[in-house]
Amino acid sequence: SYDLTQPLSVSVALGQTARITCGGDNIGSKNVHWYQQKPGQAPVLVIYEDTNRPSGIPERFSGSNSGNTATLTISGAQAGDEADYYCQMGVFGGGTKLTVL
């Protein structure tokens, strides 16, 4: 099976840029999706096919994918962005807890 590797946690200062990575063998050749999940809530799709934002997702969420790493970038992180983030390509990565300091 294909494994997606995420850091367990990422911290970012309020208003700064957070980057959450998702590692996989030649992942740059595949389509990666990203989800945000807040406590007690269902996941929400924030990026699909590496770089696309669904309607209603703020522009500060962006994505990239190259080589063996896909990256979710949150520019100008807000307190409300504190959540778990999962990459997905069929299977899900293990998830990253984002803390906004």
Partner 1 sequence: QVHLVQSGAEVKKPGASVKVSCKASGYTFTDDYIHWVRQAPGQGLEWMGWINPKNDGTNYAERFQGRVTMARDTSISTAYMELTRLTSDDTAVYYCARDGAHSVGAVWAFDIWGQGTMVIVSS
What residues make contact with partner 1 under the rule CB under 8 A? Answer: 1, 31, 33, 35, 37, 42-45, 48-49, 52, 54, 86, 88-95
Closest approach of partner 1 to the CB of residue 43, in Å: 6
Q: Which is nearer to partner 1, 15 or 85 (CB)?
A: 85
Give min distance, CB of 80 to partner 1, in A.
Answer: 19
Identity of the residue, 91 or 101, whose beta carbon is nearer to partner 1 in the bound complex: 91
Beta strands in the chain (DSSP E): 9-12, 18-23, 33-37, 44-47, 61-66, 69-74, 83-89, 91-92, 96-100
DSSP SS3 for 80: helix
Closest CB 37 distance from partner 1, rounded Å: 8
Question: In angstroms, rounded to a whole number, what is the distance separating the alpha carbons of residues 57 and 1?
Answer: 31
